[in-house]
Structure 1
């Protein structure tokens, strides 16, 4: 290997979705990128469910850095057309409450929609396809990638770092990004791991299965439960005291080519300590059999992978950035799969890290202060999600408590998603990527609206109410009443939603075009002053334009398929291959 093939501006350790997206972004802007992956592609990975902030964050990332392939991951339609038909659609978050030994009750479920076309819906990533695709995209942009390459050591000097691999010798880089996971190289090498400072204490058992029945065939009829979207076309959460199951189907739409469903159970460690002598598969099924409706959904299911059982899921690092190095979020800390926050935090970090690294390479200035923003906001988001998840586990004590606490999350999600949309609208108007800088200014920093003082106050006070209940300082009834009082006083709840009505268990309704326009109109003309002007300032034009583009694109794609089929019946020669892009320089 020539010497110039061993010296790079940035080395990324880990070839999953985060590392490959970052590699593509940097290489697109002339950065010499080395990517080292310990295994190969395709490979199994979890972190399969996107959320609206992931969807909008991917759009921002793609447009800000001019890597359109990233936007193919943003909506299910684009993902299906450009990446893989093995991925599932996610039209909702569904939460169904269970009591041991009883069928689920029709009035004990909640639902929150994802955005409809053209801005959605969200997706269930079949990660081995998605990660492999992004790996290939990164290489096509000029990333030098080596798979099956383990990094044994990273040695930092004043002007960069030397990465020592097991089988490929050493490489030099000016900066190192660790895109690994819990067993990432840099946290171990630099002694960064610490006891997780989080309230959440949970563990997980998971696998992939076939023949998992759609829950709509098991649940009470729609006329009784009243949810507007099929349970089977979303990420389904079966909640019970001290834990929850996830059900993430990849086979839940008419054009899917998958037979698989991702399933797992998450358990509060204090209520369900990990047994020493019970195999993971046996323990999983013990919990399934406790709940008749869950057992019916899984009665024909069979695993296609070994069951994985973890110790405590949470891990943490002392810091995210240092002298010539950075950890992506999934290498730094982890809370819990509830609310599918992992990819959203990763995309937030990539948006903030990309332009900093590009500028650092151009100036040859990798001063740690340049990356301090990333350290602060990544850690802040982990603290937020710890509060959100730990209070959710508390709320699993009783459906009424969950029904109240869940509404706080729907409001933070609304404002977090709209912050991303504000940046996208500004870019749509001007075409200037500098508009995305607003995402690093108040009140748009971070996710879930945490930088907005009114959203932050609502969340913090509702969290304190739940923690008081956990400590035995408040009753369930007082806690529920307090949460609704805080929601009402915040004035953050759109009047077109049913957030303040406990009987409305899908208070946001659906996010198809007309309900979406109603929210935008409320925000622009009827929302309180602390909302108006910062949120919902536009988007109707962009939504309309993209709706037309989505419709015409679907029509063209369908027409093209018909044309090709008829043509191929009569003619052998064609020019389809000419549509393949030339190699990037």
Structure 2
């Protein structure tokens, strides 16, 4: 196995949005960064619906994310069983978009390389040793040394599994089934793409997403929370509940299927040891939540930003071995993660949709507070609804 004689300031595993964001910011600060990715980008990835509070991070990275992406107006929640629906607008200071992840993730990687990041694709990290004086990282191709290691391996959660610190969060979605379609021309389709709204349909088994993309494409997914009817497996399960939605059925009339059915399992969890001596986790390696409020990409880039900014100061002070350098940033992360978790838990386990979301037009302050959370604005001190959430339950149920 080859030994890389160069010592890097930071070695990062994973070239998804968390890894490339941390890599780019650290390179902008002037640190040497090695980014290791087991796959070859572009690659397919779910998670196309973005939130407005991602834009400040994109601005720091020098990314114009309006290019080639569909402007997203907001989020619409629909209960076809009762005929009720509600809409939260995302129009404000920051823009947001529906993106094609394979293309956008590659754009983020190319941007990191442009900023001086050394990137190796198709190279898998096998071992990580975070020691008092250095980090040693072994891959299937070489051995590397550095001052610090960042785990951005997504739901593979390299450090979480190594440290047995992954705790599953109960009561939320169990798994997702999804396909991409090319819609036939219709007034409903034209309206959908003109508005660019993500649509969330309540279902007796969980919920359904409809995410409009460029070129007349629609991402459709079913998130399953409850036990599926006997005899309905994957394709049959997906088709049964998609067909049970009148609006989705109408949209998909005459549509071309662009992909086979895909599945994402091993849903919500929290990594209880997100940082330590010479390492930190960001993005899904730190924790993952049911995607009903589209928070995954936001947490990926936001945790990467927090980790990178804290690490930069530590590298300058040469105290990056201190296992507590990430405490401040992690406290901020926990505020956002707990807020979104509690919103999702109430979506599944309480009457928040019928009693609050569908009634939000009657309460201007609550409407604004909920809209702020759904937009990813999770770190403000004047959100009364958010503070109530956090006071009501401050400990995540995990096992």
The answer to whether the superposition gives a TM-score over 0.5 is yes
1:387-402 mapped onto 2 (5 Å cutoff): 387-394=342-349, 399-402=354-357
Return the structure number with greater helix share.
Answer: 1
Match of 1:161 in 2: 135
Q: Quick one: which of 177, 184, 195 aligns to 1:205?
A: 177
Alpha carbons 1:241, 1:397 under 8 Å: kept: no
1:41 and 1:164, CA in 2 relative to 1: closer, same or farther beyond 3 A? same
Cα deviation, residue 147, structure 1:
0.3
Alpha carbons 1:200, 1:386 under 8 Å: kept: no
Cα deviation, residue 332, structure 1:
1.7
Match of 2:86 in 1: 110
1:211 and 1:237, CA in 2 relative to 1: closer, same or farther beyond 3 A? same
Cα deviation, residue 412, structure 1:
4.4
Q: Matched residue pairs, number?
A: 389
Secondary structure, in 3 states, of the residue corresponding to 1:182?
A: helix
Within 1, Cα distance between the matches of 2:94 and 2:383?
A: 28
Cα deviation, residue 37, structure 1:
0.4
Return the structure number with greater strand share.
Answer: 2
Alpha carbons 1:49, 1:124 under 8 Å: kept: yes
Give CA-to-partner distance per residue, 1:354-390, whole Å, 9 cap, x none: 2221122222211122111233332332222121012
Secondary structure, in 3 states, of the residue corresponding to 2:319?
A: coil
Q: Quick one: which of 75, 84, 101 aligns to 1:93?
A: 75
Within 1, Cα distance between the matches of 2:286 and 2:78?
A: 31
Within 2, Cα distance between the matches of 1:311 and 1:321?
A: 25
TM-score normalised by length of structure 1: 0.60
Within 1, Cα distance between the matches of 2:267 and 2:25?
A: 30
Q: Quick one: which of 111, 123, 148 aligns to 1:137?
A: 111
Q: Quick one: which of 294, 306, 323 aligns to 1:352?
A: 306
Give CA-to-partner distance per residue, 1:152-202, whole Å, 9 cap, x none: 111222112211111x21111111111121112221222221232x54244
Match of 1:27 in 2: 27
Within 2, Cα distance between the matches of 1:416 and 1:97?
A: 18
1:184 and 1:405, CA in 2 relative to 1: closer, same or farther beyond 3 A? farther
Looking at both structures, which has the greater relative contact order when contacts are Cα pairs under 8 Å and sequence separation is at least 6? 2
1:245 and 1:215, CA in 2 relative to 1: closer, same or farther beyond 3 A? farther
Alpha carbons 1:22, 1:354 under 8 Å: kept: yes
1:414 and 1:185, CA in 2 relative to 1: closer, same or farther beyond 3 A? closer
Within 1, Cα distance between the matches of 2:189 and 2:216?
A: 17
Larger Rg: 1
Match of 2:243 in 1: 289
Within 2, Cα distance between the matches of 1:329 and 1:30?
A: 23
Cα deviation, residue 9, structure 1:
0.8
Alpha carbons 2:19, 2:304 under 8 Å: kept: no
Alpha carbons 2:125, 2:139 under 8 Å: kept: yes
Q: State yes or no: 1:42 paired with 2:42.
A: yes
Match of 2:257 in 1: 303
1:410 and 1:239, CA in 2 relative to 1: closer, same or farther beyond 3 A? farther
Structure 2's unaligned 5+ residue stretches are: 394-399
Q: State yes or no: 1:314 paired with 2:251.
A: no
Match of 1:380 in 2: 335
Within 2, Cα distance between the matches of 1:409 and 1:147?
A: 45
Q: Quick one: which of 314, 324, 331 aligns to 2:278?
A: 324
Alpha carbons 1:392, 1:405 under 8 Å: kept: no
1:206-221 mapped onto 2 (5 Å cutoff): 206-211=178-183, 216=188
Structure 1's unaligned 5+ residue stretches are: 74-78, 220-228, 252-257, 418-445, 465-585
Secondary structure, in 3 states, of the residue corresponding to 1:345?
A: helix
Give CA-to-partner distance per residue, 1:271-318, whole Å, 9 cap, x none: x32578644222111001222222122232343223223445112211
Within 1, Cα distance between the matches of 2:156 and 2:209?
A: 24
Cα deviation, residue 328, structure 1:
0.4
1:416 and 1:356, CA in 2 relative to 1: closer, same or farther beyond 3 A? farther
Give CA-to-partner distance per residue, 1:534-555, whole Å, 9 cap, x none: xxxxxxxxxxxxxxxxxxxxxx
Within 2, Cα distance between the matches of 1:121 and 1:378?
A: 22
CA RMSD, aligned part only? 3.1
Within 1, Cα distance between the matches of 2:237 and 2:374?
A: 37
Cα deviation, residue 455, structure 1:
4.3
